[in-house]
A and B are shown apart, each in its own frame.
Chain A
Amino acid sequence: MRFCPYAHRTRLVLRAKGIRHEVININLRNKPEWYYTKHPFGQIPVLENSKCQLIYESVIACEYLDDAYPGRKLYPYDPYERARQKMLLELFYKILGYQNTIFFGGDCISMIDYLFWPWFERLDVYGIADCLNHTPALRLWTAAMKQDPTVCALLIDKNIFLGFLNLYFQNNPDAFDYGLTC
């Protein structure tokens, strides 16, 4: 599904390794019956090869592609460095999983929310709409954050930010003043 971050992972790896592939998008709100023969719970992403082998769980699919296909290796060769990457991923899940309230610190916005927000705001500016079924807590948090007066007052205008990035990646020194009228 075009907006699912988990499927996005797999498409990133396919592209990064230059693996020839075809994409079939699944309507997650109205799944075809046959899709359950590909995944017992109808989740995405799922890889299927010409031997009819099916691989699912985004992280497992990505590792499979790295192992099975030649070219640039995305995981390091060194066992310790590989382990480090996997430990980092666990940290990421813990951040997502740490939320059992609307905000990261409880029912009201607090320091940790402000400390996280800048990165998530930038992701939001790119318009990566969250996957329908995944990380609903994060989606709720983003929406709740945008209602905070402080966050609102400092929200970056999407077009200005994209304009900045455009110039920035061209190493244009005018990037920093993009959008200023005087």
Chain B
Amino acid sequence: MSGASARSLAKGSAPPGPVPEGLIRVYSMRFCPFAQRTLLVLKAKGIRHEIININLKNKPEWFFKKNPFGLVPVLENSQGQLIYESAITCEYLDEAYPGKKLLPDDPYEKACQKMVFELFSKVPSLVTSFLRRRNEEDCSGLKAELRKELSKLEEVLTNKKTTFFGGSSLSMTDYLIWPWFERLEILELNDCVDHTPKLKLWMAAMRQDPAVSALLTDPKALRGFFNLYLQNSPEACDYGL
């Protein structure tokens, strides 16, 4: 499994060659929460993969041939098939590879996981908004909105009476939402889970998971990245290397 800590490829870089047989490639960025979803699933399922990091502030021209939207994550396999949109990449990996199934086989249980995931849908943009505005005086409105969204998730855990969103063990929804919870502390948003005790317990349980702990981002590096990223620096994506 290579490339996790490799320098990102930027404009002017040569396009990478085809993906070798037996491997799947993920175009990623070390600090991207969406790409982290895909990396978590790759790790959790033990899928052999290689990582190519992309400089999102100075994208290589060839990258738009991989994803017309120019976003990470993107999967590329040895047949040259390309899959993008983080949730779609995760589901693809679960379907295409053997081993532990992260989505349940039962149609209703699978639908439940997807309905819970929908409840999370406003969180990423709220966290991004907060990141961009945290130096402004009044983020209380944003924080209140975030708390409201998080309480929906708390309700799910309360009703299900389980540790994780899919039951007693970790499954797809847990991995899909985790990257934003990892960032709460660094963004000083930890108090947003003050009134959601089950979510707090869930966060602690997540940190015990081997895939989650293997992919935990160093908080100092994340802070360094945020600072440079907000200044649109082309060095942001390689912070700490």
Give residues in A with beta carbon < 8 Å to B.
Answer: 53, 55-57, 60-61, 63-64, 67-68, 79-80, 82-84, 86-87, 90, 94
- Check if B61 is an interface residue, CB within 8 A of chain A: no
A54–B19 alpha-carbon span in the complex (Å): 42
- Check if B50 is an interface residue, CB within 8 A of chain A: no
A63–B118 alpha-carbon span in the complex (Å): 15
Within the complex, the shortest CB–CB distance from B65 to chain A, in Å, comes to: 15
A90–B115 alpha-carbon span in the complex (Å): 17
Stretch at the interface among B104-112, B135-143, B210-218: B104-112
Residues of B within 8 A of A53 (CB): 108
> Nearest A residue to B108 by beta-carbon distance?
A53
> Is the CB–CB distance between A55 and B118 below 8 Å?
no
Residues of A within 8 A of B89 (CB): 83
Within the complex, the shortest CB–CB distance from B235 to chain A, in Å, comes to: 30
Residues of B within 8 A of A64 (CB): 107-108, 110-111
A173–B77 alpha-carbon span in the complex (Å): 47
> Nearest A residue to B67 by beta-carbon distance?
A87
Give residues in B with beta carbon < 8 Å to A.
Answer: 69, 77, 81, 83-85, 88-89, 91-92, 95-96, 107-108, 110-111, 114-115, 118
A57, A68, A82, A86: which contacts B115 (Cβ < 8 A)? A57
Residues of B within 8 A of A68 (CB): 107-108
A86–B83 alpha-carbon span in the complex (Å): 10
Residues of A within 8 A of B96 (CB): 79-80
Residues of A within 8 A of B110 (CB): 63-64, 67
Residues of A within 8 A of B81 (CB): 80
Within the complex, the shortest CB–CB distance from B153 to chain A, in Å, comes to: 13
Q: Besides A82-B91, A90-B88, 18 other CB < 8 A contacts?
A: A55-B111, A56-B115, A57-B114, A60-B111, A63-B111, A63-B114, A64-B110, A67-B110, A68-B107, A79-B96, A80-B77, A80-B81, A82-B92, A83-B92, A86-B88, A86-B91, A87-B83, A90-B85
**29 A-B contacts, Cβ less than 8 Å apart?**
A53-B108, A55-B111, A55-B115, A56-B115, A57-B118, A60-B111, A60-B114, A60-B115, A63-B110, A64-B108, A64-B110, A64-B111, A67-B110, A67-B111, A68-B107, A79-B95, A80-B77, A80-B81, A80-B92, A80-B96, A82-B91, A83-B83, A83-B89, A83-B92, A84-B83, A86-B85, A87-B83, A87-B85, A94-B69
Residues of B within 8 A of A67 (CB): 107, 110-111
Residues of A within 8 A of B77 (CB): 80
A167–B84 alpha-carbon span in the complex (Å): 42
A83–B88 alpha-carbon span in the complex (Å): 6
Residues of A within 8 A of B92 (CB): 79-80, 82-83
Within the complex, the shortest CB–CB distance from A4 to chain B, in Å, comes to: 18
> Is the CB–CB distance between B95 and A82 below 8 Å?
yes
Residues of A within 8 A of B108 (CB): 53, 55, 64, 68
Residues of B within 8 A of A57 (CB): 114-115, 118
A25–B84 alpha-carbon span in the complex (Å): 37
> Nearest A residue to B155 by beta-carbon distance?
A40
Residues of A within 8 A of B69 (CB): 94
Within the complex, the shortest CB–CB distance from B111 to chain A, in Å, comes to: 4
Within the complex, the shortest CB–CB distance from B75 to chain A, in Å, comes to: 9
B84, B107, B111, B114: which contacts A87 (Cβ < 8 A)? B84
Within the complex, the shortest CB–CB distance from B124 to chain A, in Å, comes to: 15
Within the complex, the shortest CB–CB distance from A63 to chain B, in Å, comes to: 7
Residues of B within 8 A of A61 (CB): 111
> Nearest A residue to B95 by beta-carbon distance?
A79
> Is the CB–CB distance between A83 and B118 below 8 Å?
no
> Is the CB–CB distance between A83 and B91 below 8 Å?
yes
Q: Lowest 6 A-B CB distances belong to which pairs? A: A67-B107, A79-B95, A68-B107, A79-B96, A64-B111, A83-B92
A60–B115 alpha-carbon span in the complex (Å): 7
Q: Which of B81, B95, B107, B110 has the most CB of A within 10 A?
A: B107
